[in-house]
Amino acid sequence: MTLCLSIGFEDYAGALEVVCPAGSSLPCIRSVPLHVPAYEYAEDLRFYEGARPKAVDNFHIASIIPPQRPIDEDQEMQLTIRVDMDYSLAIKVETSGSTQECNCRARAPVAGNLKDIEFMHQASDHYQVEDQQRSVLYRQLNRSYILSQNIHKLHTRLVHESGELNTALYIVNNKLTMHQEICVLYLQQIDADCNHSHYPYFNSSSELPGVSSCMMDTDKQ
C-alpha cells in the first residue's frame, strides 16, 4: 500500500514543503527539523495533502499551533509525520519543552476518496507548466528569505560597528526585499492566469466537498 497524495506543510513562501511524498510505502514515518528565526512569528503550522507546489492549492488536513517563545529567540522544532497502513495520520511537533499532536486521516484509494484523488492529479497535469514556474519562484523566495534572516542577525551583532558596513547591509537587504516582491508579483500573476482558466481551479480556502481537516493543540510537558 502506498500514499496516493503527498503530505507536507506550508512554508514561509506559501509553498508545500513535502515530508511524505506520494508513492511512499505504508507505514511511512518521516521526521524533519523546523526552524523559526528570531523576530519571526508562526501563527500556526498548516498541513496539506495533494500534488501542487502552492500549499493552498492542496487539501488542508490539519493545523497545529506551535508553542510560544520569546520573540528575540530562534525556535527549533522537530516535525514527525506518520501514516499507518490504514491511512491514519499522526502529526507531531516537538520542542525542548512541549509537544503538539494532531491525528486525522490521509486519503485512501477507496470509493469516498477517489474523486478527490483524481481531481488533484488532473489539476496537477493541467497546470503542469504553471506549477513548474511556481516551483522556481518558491525556491528563489525561500533562498531570499534565508539571506534576509542572516543579514538581520548580522546587522544585530554589528549594530555598534562602522556606519559603512551597516549601510552596505541595509542596501543588500533592500535589494533582497525588492527581489521578494517581484517573485510575489509573478506568483500572483500565475494565480490570476489560473483563475481565468476554463479548468476548475481549486483553492483550499474555498469550500469543496470531500475536503477534511482537523485542528488540535495539545501540550505535553
**CATH number of the structural domain spanning residue 109:** 2.60.34.10
207 falls within a domain: no
218 falls within a domain: no
172 falls within a domain: yes
Coil/strand/helix, residue 73: coil
Where are the strands (E) in 134-189, listed by range? none
pLDDT at 120 over 90: yes
Q: What is the pLDDT of residue 69?
A: 66
- pTM greater than the 0.85 cutoff: no
- Cα dist from 40 to 26, 69, 115, 146, whole Å: 35, 11, 38, 12
CB 50 within 8 A of CB 59: yes
Q: Are residues 107 and 25 in the same domain?
A: yes
Q: Are residues 83 and 174 in the same domain?
A: no
Q: Are residues 139 and 71 in the same domain?
A: no
Number of domains in the chain: 2
> How far is 65 from 48, CA to CA, in rounded Å?
15
202 falls within a domain: no
Domain that holds residue 150: 130-195
Q: Are residues 15 and 109 in the same domain?
A: yes
Q: What is the pLDDT of residue 146?
A: 80
The pLDDT tens digits for 23-39 are 999 999 999 998 776 55
The pLDDT tens digits for 126-163 are 889 999 999 999 998 888 888 887 777 776 666 666 66
Q: Are residues 141 and 57 in the same domain?
A: no
For 59-68, 70-79, 94-103, 200-209, which range has the lowest pLDDT when averaged over its residues? Answer: 200-209
Q: Are residues 101 and 11 in the same domain?
A: yes
Q: Are residues 151 and 108 in the same domain?
A: no
CB 57 within 8 A of CB 14: no
Which residue type occupies 87? Y
Q: Are residues 103 and 143 in the same domain?
A: no
Q: What is the pLDDT of residue 83?
A: 95
pLDDT band at 4 (very low <50, low <70, confident <90, very high): very high
